[in-house]
């Protein structure tokens, strides 16, 4: 008998009201660019986005970028919503007709969204054009507090709570076991699910935090660690702001689309070794704007940067379930094999010459190939 989603998974079509689009256009049109300065003239980005880039991108966003076309691209995939514990969870899914299809959950991070995985979903849909041939159920949730998944705002929220909600999503879909894949915040949520829930029987990651030694580094590892160290020295102030003053920075970014553009685009450009297409950058930022979700997306930083706050760190628990890892050299927190295998039961490890923090967006073929190879090994061990 083929799979069909439960009635609690409500089909969803993204359609931003014209009034919201008109308001965005008016606000962006009236948003004032900073004056041209020495700091804003460095093309290498040492002081952030340049005046030239922001000026030209503002013009492109207003006069060339087509949001309705991007809506159609998003809606070309099956979208759903499901109410779980006070969160109206949004997710995109490719459901298989195969009885023994393997459920895989793909988890994004900050400042990303589910749209990071659309290139990968397109690859999968091309690879398996008929649902009866698809060997997987692919579930791509929007994390609670991120675009299209509003979370409760009258109390604190943690990554463990996100893990609980997203595990329950898989249970509600009828899956007694599943694999989770994640980078950035998604990597922590996946690890939390693996540590806390029996249904999450394995994880695949493309980011890992751990103590890295400088002994016997390969040339690729030397390049990677130099990039990560440079980010630690010059690029981490934003995270301290998120951790300690989220209300202030969230209020600033929620008031002005040009401010949001500068804040998020800087990361999408700097944290990759090949800048993503401009339309991909703008679609991600536009989603944050229309869903008013930038402030509610900042909660992970209170846990991740505990040294700043003097709070309890994210639990560092050994993951005994089979784990796969993809190494991309421009990752902010690159996982060297000898480091990763100390924290997880590592069954696959793939090293790539190119790619950075947004692997699903930058290198969808490589990441999906790694996930498929991992699943073939890991699923047989559970």
Distance CA 307, CA 252 (A): 25
Q: Which long-range contacts (CB under 8 A, 24 or more apart) does 34-42 make?
A: none
3-state DSSP assignment of residue 181: strand
User: Quick one: which of 228, 207, 10, 3 has its CA closest to 110?
Assistant: 207
Here the tokens at position 34 are 């900073």
Looking at 197, 357, 370, 374, which residue is catalytic? 357
Q: Is the peptide bond before 111 cis (omega within 30 degrees of 0)?
A: yes
E strands, the chain, in order: 10-12, 79-84, 87-94, 102-107, 136-141, 178-182, 200-205, 319-327, 344-351
Looking at 80, 136, 290, 301, which residue is catalytic? 301
Annotated active-site residue 184? The verdict is: yes
Annotated active-site residue 3? The verdict is: no
E strands, 142-259, in order: 178-182, 200-205
Annotated active-site residue 318? The verdict is: no
- Residue 33 DSSP one-character state: P
Looking at 184, 242, 349, 374, which residue is catalytic? 184
Here the tokens at position 226 are 């130099």
Chain-centroid distance of CA 85 in Å reads 22
Contact 112, 284 (CB under 8 A): yes
Q: How far is CA 335 from CA 201, 214, 319, 338, in A?
A: 21, 13, 15, 8
Contact 35, 81 (CB under 8 A): no
Here the tokens at position 269 are 């450009």
Contact 184, 161 (CB under 8 A): no
- What dihedral do alpha carbons 161, 163, 166, 171 form, nearest 10°? -100
Q: What's the sign of the alpha-carbon dihedral 130, 2, 201, 377?
A: negative
Catalytic residues: 184, 301, 357
């Amino acid at each position: 008998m083929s799979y069909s989603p439960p009635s609690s998974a409500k089909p969803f079509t993204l359609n931003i009201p014209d009034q919201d689009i008109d308001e965005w256009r008016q606000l962006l049109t009236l948003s004032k660019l900073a004056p041209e300065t020495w700091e804003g003239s460095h093309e290498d980005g040492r002081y952030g986005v340049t005046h030239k880039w922001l000026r030209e991108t503002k013009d492109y966003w207003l006069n060339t970028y087509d949001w309705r076309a991007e809506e159609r691209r998003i809606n070309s995939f099956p979208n759903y919503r499901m109410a779980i514990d006070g969160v109206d969870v949004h997710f995109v899914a490719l459901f298989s007709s195969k009885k023994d299809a393997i459920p895989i959950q793909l988890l994004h991070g900050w400042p990303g969204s589910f749209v990071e995985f659309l290139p990968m979903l397109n690859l999968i849909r091309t690879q398996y054009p008929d649902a009866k041939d698809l060997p997987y159920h692919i579930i791509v949730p929007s994390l609670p507090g991120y675009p299209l998944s509003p979370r409760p705002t009258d109390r604190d929220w943690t990554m463990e709570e996100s893990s609980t909600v997203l595990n329950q999503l898989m249970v509600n879909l009828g899956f007694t076991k599943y694999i989770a894949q994640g980078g950035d915040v998604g990597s922590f949520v996946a690890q939390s699910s693996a540590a806390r829930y029996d249904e999450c029987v394995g994880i695949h990651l493309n980011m890992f935090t751990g103590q890295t030694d400088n002994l016997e580094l390969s040339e690729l590892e030397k390049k990677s660690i130099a990039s990560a160290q440079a980010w630690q020295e010059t690029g981490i102030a934003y995270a301290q702001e998120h951790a300690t003053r989220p209300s202030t920075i969230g209020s600033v970014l929620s008031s002005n689309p040009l401010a949001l553009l500068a804040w998020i685009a800087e990361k999408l450009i700097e944290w990759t070794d090949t800048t993503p297409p401009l339309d991909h950058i703008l679609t991600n930022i536009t989603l944050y704007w229309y869903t008013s979700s930038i402030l509610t997306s900042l909660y992970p930083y209170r846990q991740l940067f505990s040294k700043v706050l003097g709070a309890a760190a994210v639990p560092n628990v050994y993951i005994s379930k089979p784990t796969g890892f993809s190494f991309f050299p421009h990752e902010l927190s690159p996982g060297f094999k000898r480091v990763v295998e100390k924290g997880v039961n590592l069954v696959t490890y793939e090293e790539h010459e190119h790619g950075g923090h947004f692997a699903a967006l930058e290198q969808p073929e490589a990441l999906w190939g790694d996930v498929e190879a991992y699943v073939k090994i890991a699923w047989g061990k559970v």
